[in-house]
Amino acid sequence: MASLHRTVTRRAVLAAGALMALSAGLGGCGGSSAAPQGDPSDGSSPNISPDIAEVTDGPVQPGPSSTPTRPERTLAAMTLEQKVAQLFCVTPEQLTGASVATVSGPMTADALARIPVGGLVYFSHNIVGDRQLCDMLSDADRLSRASGAGVGAFLSVDEEGGPLVARVANSGLFDVPTFPNMSEIGATGDASRAAEVGSTIGGYLADIGFNLDFAPDADVLTNPDNPVIGPRSFGSEPQLVAQMVAAQVEAMLAVGVAPCVKHFPGHGDTMGDSHTGAVYTERSRDEIEACEFEPYRAAIEAGVPMVMVGHIETPNFAADGLPASLSPIMMGDVLRGELGFDGIIISDSFSMGAITQRFTPDEAAVQFFAAGGDMLLMPADLTLAYNGALEAIGGGVLTEARIDESVMRILNVKDDLGLLP
Protein backbone atom coordinates (compact mmCIF):
# COMPACT_ATOMS: atom_id res chain seq x y z
CA MET A 1 0.00 0.00 0.00
CA ALA A 2 1.33 3.42 -0.89
CA SER A 3 2.03 5.51 2.17
CA LEU A 4 0.33 8.77 3.05
CA HIS A 5 3.31 10.88 2.08
CA ARG A 6 3.81 9.03 -1.19
CA THR A 7 0.21 9.41 -2.26
CA VAL A 8 -0.04 13.16 -1.81
CA THR A 9 -0.12 14.56 -5.33
CA ARG A 10 1.27 17.77 -6.70
CA ARG A 11 -2.25 19.21 -6.76
CA ALA A 12 -2.58 18.50 -3.04
CA VAL A 13 0.71 20.23 -2.31
CA LEU A 14 -0.38 23.33 -4.20
CA ALA A 15 -3.80 23.28 -2.54
CA ALA A 16 -2.28 22.87 0.89
CA GLY A 17 0.11 25.75 0.32
CA ALA A 18 -2.70 28.03 -0.76
CA LEU A 19 -4.96 27.03 2.09
CA MET A 20 -2.56 26.56 4.97
CA ALA A 21 -3.26 30.05 6.25
CA LEU A 22 -6.90 29.10 6.69
CA SER A 23 -6.05 26.38 9.19
CA ALA A 24 -3.28 28.27 10.97
CA GLY A 25 -4.22 29.67 14.32
CA LEU A 26 -7.47 27.72 14.63
CA GLY A 27 -8.83 27.34 18.14
CA GLY A 28 -7.58 23.94 19.27
CA CYS A 29 -5.78 22.59 22.29
CA GLY A 30 -2.96 25.07 22.15
CA GLY A 31 -5.24 28.07 22.51
CA SER A 32 -7.75 26.71 24.98
CA SER A 33 -8.79 28.91 27.85
CA ALA A 34 -11.16 26.53 29.62
CA ALA A 35 -10.12 24.97 32.90
CA PRO A 36 -8.83 21.38 32.54
CA GLN A 37 -11.31 18.63 33.42
CA GLY A 38 -8.87 15.95 34.50
CA ASP A 39 -5.18 15.42 35.03
CA PRO A 40 -3.07 16.56 32.11
CA SER A 41 -1.20 13.85 30.24
CA ASP A 42 2.52 13.69 29.69
CA GLY A 43 1.86 12.19 26.25
CA SER A 44 0.58 13.96 23.18
CA SER A 45 -0.57 13.20 19.66
CA PRO A 46 1.89 14.93 17.36
CA ASN A 47 0.58 17.23 14.64
CA ILE A 48 1.96 15.20 11.76
CA SER A 49 3.29 17.00 8.70
CA PRO A 50 4.03 14.18 6.24
CA ASP A 51 7.01 14.42 3.94
CA ILE A 52 5.83 15.20 0.44
CA ALA A 53 7.02 13.18 -2.54
CA GLU A 54 5.83 12.55 -6.05
CA VAL A 55 3.42 9.69 -6.68
CA THR A 56 5.16 6.39 -7.41
CA ASP A 57 3.82 3.51 -9.45
CA GLY A 58 3.42 1.52 -6.24
CA PRO A 59 5.12 0.52 -3.03
CA VAL A 60 8.60 -0.96 -3.29
CA GLN A 61 8.51 -4.55 -2.09
CA PRO A 62 11.49 -5.54 0.07
CA GLY A 63 13.78 -8.17 -1.39
CA PRO A 64 15.12 -11.18 0.51
CA SER A 65 18.03 -9.20 1.93
CA SER A 66 16.14 -5.96 2.60
CA THR A 67 15.99 -4.56 6.08
CA PRO A 68 12.45 -5.08 7.46
CA THR A 69 10.30 -1.98 7.55
CA ARG A 70 9.00 -0.63 10.84
CA PRO A 71 5.52 -2.09 10.19
CA GLU A 72 7.10 -5.47 9.39
CA ARG A 73 9.18 -5.40 12.56
CA THR A 74 6.14 -4.40 14.61
CA LEU A 75 4.00 -7.17 13.14
CA ALA A 76 6.70 -9.76 13.80
CA ALA A 77 6.81 -8.76 17.48
CA MET A 78 3.04 -8.94 18.02
CA THR A 79 1.13 -11.78 19.63
CA LEU A 80 -1.94 -13.19 17.92
CA GLU A 81 -4.14 -11.51 20.53
CA GLN A 82 -2.53 -8.14 19.86
CA LYS A 83 -2.98 -8.55 16.13
CA VAL A 84 -6.68 -9.36 16.42
CA ALA A 85 -7.21 -6.40 18.77
CA GLN A 86 -5.83 -4.08 16.08
CA LEU A 87 -8.75 -5.05 13.85
CA PHE A 88 -11.33 -3.24 16.01
CA CYS A 89 -12.28 0.43 16.23
CA VAL A 90 -14.73 1.09 19.07
CA THR A 91 -16.24 3.85 21.16
CA PRO A 92 -14.60 4.49 24.55
CA GLU A 93 -17.83 3.23 26.13
CA GLN A 94 -17.62 -0.07 24.23
CA LEU A 95 -14.02 -0.41 25.35
CA THR A 96 -14.47 0.43 29.03
CA GLY A 97 -18.12 -0.23 29.85
CA ALA A 98 -18.60 3.36 31.03
CA SER A 99 -22.03 4.90 30.40
CA VAL A 100 -20.49 8.09 29.02
CA ALA A 101 -16.73 8.57 28.62
CA THR A 102 -15.23 12.04 28.90
CA VAL A 103 -11.75 11.10 30.18
CA SER A 104 -9.13 8.49 29.35
CA GLY A 105 -8.02 7.23 32.74
CA PRO A 106 -7.60 4.02 34.74
CA MET A 107 -10.66 2.35 33.18
CA THR A 108 -9.22 2.98 29.73
CA ALA A 109 -5.80 1.68 30.78
CA ASP A 110 -7.29 -1.51 32.23
CA ALA A 111 -9.46 -2.10 29.15
CA LEU A 112 -6.55 -1.57 26.76
CA ALA A 113 -4.50 -4.05 28.77
CA ARG A 114 -7.19 -6.65 28.02
CA ILE A 115 -7.95 -5.68 24.40
CA PRO A 116 -5.50 -3.13 22.92
CA VAL A 117 -7.86 -2.05 20.16
CA GLY A 118 -6.62 -0.48 16.96
CA GLY A 119 -8.89 2.55 17.11
CA LEU A 120 -11.27 4.66 19.15
CA VAL A 121 -14.13 6.71 17.74
CA TYR A 122 -15.67 9.69 19.53
CA PHE A 123 -19.10 11.28 19.30
CA SER A 124 -20.77 14.48 20.44
CA HIS A 125 -21.51 13.17 23.94
CA ASN A 126 -17.78 12.64 24.51
CA ILE A 127 -17.10 16.35 23.93
CA VAL A 128 -17.97 18.54 26.93
CA GLY A 129 -15.09 21.02 26.90
CA ASP A 130 -12.26 22.11 24.68
CA ARG A 131 -9.48 21.30 27.15
CA GLN A 132 -11.35 18.15 28.20
CA LEU A 133 -11.36 16.78 24.65
CA CYS A 134 -7.70 17.57 24.10
CA ASP A 135 -6.73 15.87 27.36
CA MET A 136 -8.91 12.84 26.67
CA LEU A 137 -7.29 12.32 23.27
CA SER A 138 -3.78 12.97 24.53
CA ASP A 139 -4.27 10.46 27.35
CA ALA A 140 -5.84 7.91 25.00
CA ASP A 141 -2.82 8.22 22.73
CA ARG A 142 -0.41 7.75 25.63
CA LEU A 143 -2.32 4.79 27.07
CA SER A 144 -2.69 3.02 23.73
CA ARG A 145 1.04 3.32 23.09
CA ALA A 146 1.69 1.85 26.54
CA SER A 147 -0.52 -1.17 25.86
CA GLY A 148 -0.21 -4.24 23.70
CA ALA A 149 2.60 -3.97 21.18
CA GLY A 150 3.06 -0.24 21.80
CA VAL A 151 1.05 0.76 18.74
CA GLY A 152 -0.88 4.02 19.00
CA ALA A 153 -4.59 3.95 18.27
CA PHE A 154 -6.49 5.65 15.50
CA LEU A 155 -8.32 8.49 17.28
CA SER A 156 -11.25 9.11 15.00
CA VAL A 157 -14.37 11.22 14.56
CA ASP A 158 -17.13 11.91 12.02
CA GLU A 159 -16.33 15.45 10.93
CA GLU A 160 -17.76 15.88 7.45
CA GLY A 161 -18.49 19.59 7.79
CA GLY A 162 -21.89 21.22 7.52
CA PRO A 163 -24.70 21.38 10.08
CA LEU A 164 -25.48 17.64 10.03
CA VAL A 165 -22.25 15.72 10.79
CA ALA A 166 -19.50 17.76 12.44
CA ARG A 167 -19.00 16.67 16.05
CA VAL A 168 -16.29 19.22 16.86
CA ALA A 169 -17.40 22.27 14.89
CA ASN A 170 -21.04 21.89 15.92
CA SER A 171 -20.19 21.48 19.61
CA GLY A 172 -19.75 25.23 19.99
CA LEU A 173 -16.72 24.60 22.20
CA PHE A 174 -13.99 25.28 19.66
CA ASP A 175 -13.22 28.45 17.75
CA VAL A 176 -13.03 26.76 14.35
CA PRO A 177 -14.55 27.63 10.97
CA THR A 178 -17.86 26.06 10.02
CA PHE A 179 -19.07 25.12 6.55
CA PRO A 180 -22.41 24.75 4.79
CA ASN A 181 -23.66 21.36 3.66
CA MET A 182 -21.36 19.63 1.20
CA SER A 183 -24.16 19.91 -1.39
CA GLU A 184 -23.57 23.66 -1.35
CA ILE A 185 -19.81 23.16 -1.71
CA GLY A 186 -20.43 20.85 -4.67
CA ALA A 187 -22.89 23.27 -6.25
CA THR A 188 -20.06 25.79 -6.72
CA GLY A 189 -18.36 23.38 -9.12
CA ASP A 190 -15.05 24.56 -7.65
CA ALA A 191 -12.89 21.72 -6.31
CA SER A 192 -10.73 24.22 -4.42
CA ARG A 193 -13.69 24.76 -2.09
CA ALA A 194 -13.62 21.05 -1.20
CA ALA A 195 -9.86 21.30 -0.70
CA GLU A 196 -10.49 24.21 1.68
CA VAL A 197 -12.90 22.04 3.66
CA GLY A 198 -10.37 19.22 3.87
CA SER A 199 -7.42 21.43 4.78
CA THR A 200 -9.34 23.37 7.41
CA ILE A 201 -11.07 20.41 9.05
CA GLY A 202 -7.92 18.30 8.92
CA GLY A 203 -5.93 21.15 10.43
CA TYR A 204 -8.14 21.69 13.45
CA LEU A 205 -8.64 17.96 14.04
CA ALA A 206 -4.87 17.41 14.11
CA ASP A 207 -4.46 20.37 16.47
CA ILE A 208 -7.00 18.87 18.88
CA GLY A 209 -5.48 15.37 18.74
CA PHE A 210 -7.47 13.38 16.17
CA ASN A 211 -5.60 11.49 13.46
CA LEU A 212 -8.47 9.91 11.45
CA ASP A 213 -11.60 11.50 10.03
CA PHE A 214 -14.49 9.45 8.66
CA ALA A 215 -14.89 11.86 5.75
CA PRO A 216 -15.44 12.83 3.00
CA ASP A 217 -18.81 11.40 2.01
CA ALA A 218 -18.32 9.88 -1.46
CA ASP A 219 -21.97 9.05 -2.11
CA VAL A 220 -23.55 10.27 -5.35
CA LEU A 221 -27.07 11.45 -4.53
CA THR A 222 -28.98 9.72 -7.31
CA ASN A 223 -32.13 9.48 -5.17
CA PRO A 224 -33.17 12.95 -3.98
CA ASP A 225 -35.53 11.35 -1.44
CA ASN A 226 -32.67 9.52 0.26
CA PRO A 227 -33.33 9.82 4.02
CA VAL A 228 -29.73 9.28 5.21
CA ILE A 229 -27.32 11.08 2.88
CA GLY A 230 -29.20 14.03 1.40
CA PRO A 231 -27.18 17.28 1.54
CA ARG A 232 -24.16 15.46 3.01
CA SER A 233 -23.34 14.48 -0.60
CA PHE A 234 -21.47 16.82 -2.90
CA GLY A 235 -24.14 16.24 -5.54
CA SER A 236 -25.85 14.00 -8.06
CA GLU A 237 -23.26 14.14 -10.85
CA PRO A 238 -20.58 11.41 -10.46
CA GLN A 239 -17.74 13.36 -12.07
CA LEU A 240 -18.43 16.40 -9.90
CA VAL A 241 -18.55 14.31 -6.73
CA ALA A 242 -15.34 12.56 -7.78
CA GLN A 243 -13.51 15.87 -8.22
CA MET A 244 -14.70 17.17 -4.87
CA VAL A 245 -13.86 13.98 -3.01
CA ALA A 246 -10.37 13.75 -4.53
CA ALA A 247 -9.63 17.37 -3.66
CA GLN A 248 -10.71 16.91 -0.05
CA VAL A 249 -8.77 13.65 0.32
CA GLU A 250 -5.57 15.25 -0.97
CA ALA A 251 -5.97 18.30 1.25
CA MET A 252 -6.49 16.21 4.37
CA LEU A 253 -3.50 14.04 3.57
CA ALA A 254 -1.38 17.16 3.15
CA VAL A 255 -2.10 18.27 6.74
CA GLY A 256 -1.44 14.82 8.19
CA VAL A 257 -4.92 13.51 9.02
CA ALA A 258 -6.05 10.25 7.43
CA PRO A 259 -9.34 10.58 5.53
CA CYS A 260 -11.81 7.72 5.11
CA VAL A 261 -14.25 7.86 2.19
CA LYS A 262 -17.71 6.35 2.68
CA HIS A 263 -20.12 4.50 2.15
CA PHE A 264 -18.98 1.95 -0.47
CA PRO A 265 -20.49 0.85 -2.84
CA GLY A 266 -22.69 3.94 -2.60
CA HIS A 267 -25.51 5.04 -0.28
CA GLY A 268 -26.93 7.77 -2.53
CA ASP A 269 -29.62 5.65 -4.19
CA THR A 270 -31.00 3.83 -1.15
CA MET A 271 -34.34 4.52 0.51
CA GLY A 272 -33.77 2.70 3.80
CA ASP A 273 -31.61 3.47 6.81
CA SER A 274 -29.04 0.82 7.74
CA HIS A 275 -29.19 2.01 11.35
CA THR A 276 -32.55 0.27 11.63
CA GLY A 277 -32.53 -2.51 9.06
CA ALA A 278 -31.44 -3.89 5.72
CA VAL A 279 -30.77 -1.41 2.91
CA TYR A 280 -30.84 -2.15 -0.82
CA THR A 281 -29.97 -0.48 -4.08
CA GLU A 282 -31.77 -1.80 -7.13
CA ARG A 283 -29.32 -0.24 -9.56
CA SER A 284 -27.66 -2.47 -12.12
CA ARG A 285 -24.00 -3.37 -12.22
CA ASP A 286 -23.46 -1.06 -15.20
CA GLU A 287 -25.17 1.83 -13.42
CA ILE A 288 -23.17 1.37 -10.22
CA GLU A 289 -19.86 1.06 -12.05
CA ALA A 290 -20.54 4.15 -14.15
CA CYS A 291 -21.88 6.32 -11.34
CA GLU A 292 -21.37 5.24 -7.73
CA PHE A 293 -17.81 3.99 -8.26
CA GLU A 294 -16.47 7.20 -9.84
CA PRO A 295 -15.75 8.99 -6.53
CA TYR A 296 -14.01 5.86 -5.19
CA ARG A 297 -11.80 5.63 -8.27
CA ALA A 298 -10.86 9.27 -7.78
CA ALA A 299 -10.25 8.85 -4.05
CA ILE A 300 -8.04 5.81 -4.61
CA GLU A 301 -6.07 7.71 -7.24
CA ALA A 302 -5.70 10.57 -4.74
CA GLY A 303 -4.20 8.15 -2.20
CA VAL A 304 -7.03 7.64 0.28
CA PRO A 305 -5.78 5.19 2.95
CA MET A 306 -9.18 3.93 4.15
CA VAL A 307 -12.57 3.11 2.64
CA MET A 308 -15.70 2.52 4.73
CA VAL A 309 -17.99 -0.21 3.40
CA GLY A 310 -21.69 0.21 4.06
CA HIS A 311 -24.40 -2.30 4.91
CA ILE A 312 -25.85 -2.02 1.41
CA GLU A 313 -27.14 -5.02 -0.52
CA THR A 314 -26.83 -5.03 -4.31
CA PRO A 315 -29.25 -7.66 -5.66
CA ASN A 316 -28.53 -6.66 -9.26
CA PHE A 317 -24.75 -6.61 -8.80
CA ALA A 318 -23.24 -8.96 -6.21
CA ALA A 319 -26.58 -10.79 -5.83
CA ASP A 320 -25.22 -12.74 -2.86
CA GLY A 321 -27.88 -11.72 -0.37
CA LEU A 322 -25.29 -9.99 1.79
CA PRO A 323 -24.64 -6.38 2.67
CA ALA A 324 -21.43 -5.12 1.05
CA SER A 325 -19.84 -5.06 4.51
CA LEU A 326 -20.02 -8.87 4.60
CA SER A 327 -19.64 -9.61 0.90
CA PRO A 328 -16.43 -11.16 -0.47
CA ILE A 329 -17.62 -10.09 -3.91
CA MET A 330 -17.97 -6.40 -3.09
CA MET A 331 -14.91 -6.16 -0.85
CA GLY A 332 -12.58 -8.67 -2.50
CA ASP A 333 -13.53 -8.95 -6.16
CA VAL A 334 -14.66 -5.37 -6.66
CA LEU A 335 -13.02 -2.97 -4.19
CA ARG A 336 -9.70 -4.83 -4.08
CA GLY A 337 -9.68 -6.41 -7.53
CA GLU A 338 -11.60 -4.18 -9.94
CA LEU A 339 -10.86 -0.83 -8.27
CA GLY A 340 -7.38 -1.77 -7.08
CA PHE A 341 -7.69 -0.51 -3.49
CA ASP A 342 -4.99 -1.87 -1.19
CA GLY A 343 -5.58 0.29 1.86
CA ILE A 344 -7.71 -0.38 4.93
CA ILE A 345 -11.27 -1.59 4.38
CA ILE A 346 -13.25 -0.59 7.46
CA SER A 347 -16.89 -1.46 8.03
CA ASP A 348 -19.67 0.92 8.90
CA SER A 349 -20.86 0.43 12.47
CA PHE A 350 -21.68 -3.20 13.26
CA SER A 351 -24.05 -1.97 15.97
CA MET A 352 -26.55 -1.03 13.26
CA GLY A 353 -29.76 -2.95 12.73
CA ALA A 354 -28.70 -4.10 9.27
CA ILE A 355 -26.14 -6.32 11.03
CA THR A 356 -27.56 -6.99 14.51
CA GLN A 357 -30.92 -8.19 13.19
CA ARG A 358 -29.24 -11.02 11.27
CA PHE A 359 -25.99 -11.88 13.01
CA THR A 360 -24.54 -12.21 16.49
CA PRO A 361 -21.46 -10.04 17.19
CA ASP A 362 -19.05 -12.95 16.85
CA GLU A 363 -20.69 -14.30 13.68
CA ALA A 364 -20.61 -10.88 12.06
CA ALA A 365 -16.97 -10.29 12.97
CA VAL A 366 -15.78 -13.64 11.63
CA GLN A 367 -17.74 -13.23 8.40
CA PHE A 368 -16.39 -9.68 7.90
CA PHE A 369 -12.76 -10.74 8.25
CA ALA A 370 -13.28 -13.88 6.16
CA ALA A 371 -14.79 -11.74 3.39
CA GLY A 372 -11.69 -9.55 3.27
CA GLY A 373 -12.45 -6.70 5.66
CA ASP A 374 -9.59 -5.22 7.68
CA MET A 375 -11.07 -3.18 10.52
CA LEU A 376 -14.45 -3.63 12.17
CA LEU A 377 -16.17 -0.50 13.46
CA MET A 378 -18.24 -0.59 16.64
CA PRO A 379 -19.29 -4.23 17.10
CA ALA A 380 -22.42 -4.68 19.19
CA ASP A 381 -20.27 -6.49 21.78
CA LEU A 382 -16.50 -6.03 21.59
CA THR A 383 -15.61 -8.99 23.82
CA LEU A 384 -17.81 -11.42 21.87
CA ALA A 385 -16.52 -10.18 18.52
CA TYR A 386 -12.87 -10.25 19.62
CA ASN A 387 -13.11 -13.71 21.16
CA GLY A 388 -15.08 -14.95 18.18
CA ALA A 389 -12.27 -13.94 15.82
CA LEU A 390 -9.67 -15.65 18.03
CA GLU A 391 -11.75 -18.82 18.21
CA ALA A 392 -12.23 -18.78 14.43
CA ILE A 393 -8.46 -18.73 13.99
CA GLY A 394 -8.06 -21.57 16.46
CA GLY A 395 -10.72 -23.55 14.61
CA GLY A 396 -9.29 -22.95 11.16
CA VAL A 397 -12.17 -20.78 9.92
CA LEU A 398 -9.73 -17.84 9.73
CA THR A 399 -5.98 -18.12 9.32
CA GLU A 400 -3.31 -16.06 11.03
CA ALA A 401 -1.93 -15.25 7.58
CA ARG A 402 -5.29 -13.67 6.68
CA ILE A 403 -5.17 -11.60 9.89
CA ASP A 404 -1.58 -10.55 9.17
CA GLU A 405 -2.66 -9.07 5.83
CA SER A 406 -5.13 -6.76 7.54
CA VAL A 407 -2.80 -5.85 10.39
CA MET A 408 -0.05 -4.94 7.93
CA ARG A 409 -2.39 -2.56 6.12
CA ILE A 410 -3.30 -0.96 9.44
CA LEU A 411 0.33 -0.68 10.54
CA ASN A 412 1.38 0.88 7.24
CA VAL A 413 -1.10 3.73 7.69
CA LYS A 414 -0.24 4.08 11.36
CA ASP A 415 3.43 4.30 10.48
CA ASP A 416 2.72 7.30 8.29
CA LEU A 417 0.83 8.91 11.17
CA GLY A 418 3.71 8.33 13.61
CA LEU A 419 1.82 5.76 15.67
CA LEU A 420 4.31 2.88 15.67
CA PRO A 421 6.91 2.25 18.37
Domains annotated for the chain, with CATH where assigned, are 4-24+80-416 (3.20.20.300)
> What pairing do the DSSP bridges indicate for beta strands 159-161 and 119-122?
unpaired
Among the listed residues 275, 320, 342, 381, the single catalytic one is: 275
* Spatial contact of 186 and 233, defined as CB atoms under 8 Å apart: yes
Contacts of residue 250, Cβ cutoff 8 Å, sequence gap at least 6? 8, 9, 11, 12, 15, 195, 198, 302, 303
Compute the Cα dihedral for 393, 398, 401, 403 and give only its sign: negative
- Average pLDDT for the chain: 87
Q: So what's the pLDDT on residue 360?
A: 98
Q: Taking 60 as the threshold, does the pLDDT of residue 164 lie above it?
A: yes
pLDDT value of position 280? 83
Lowest mean pLDDT, pick from 26-30, 217-221, 261-265: 26-30
Residue 273's pLDDT is 55
* Mean pLDDT within 366-388: 98
Q: Which of the four pLDDT bands, split at 50, 70 and 90, describes residue 66?
A: confident
pLDDT of residue 64: 56
pLDDT at 16 over 90: no
Place 279 in a pLDDT band, splitting at 50, 70 and 90: confident
Is 348 noted as a catalytic residue in this protein?
yes
Catalytic (active site) residue 320: no
Judge contact between 296 and 261, C-beta under 8 A: yes
| pLDDT, tens digit, 9 for 90 and up, residues 186-202 | 999 999 999 999 999 99
Residue 43: pLDDT band (50, 70, 90) is very low
Task: Read off the pLDDT of residues 108-135 as tens digits, 9 standing for 90 and up.
Answer: 999 999 999 999 999 999 999 999 999 9
Span 371-392, average pLDDT: 98
**Which of 141, 207, 348, 374 is the catalytic position?**
348
Average of pLDDT values for 175-196?
98
pTM across the whole model: 0.86
pLDDT at 263 over 50: yes
Residue 265: the pLDDT is: 96
Mean pLDDT of the 22-36 span: 45
**Sequence-ordered list of residues with C-beta below 8 angstroms from that of 320, at least 6 positions apart, any chain:** 327, 329
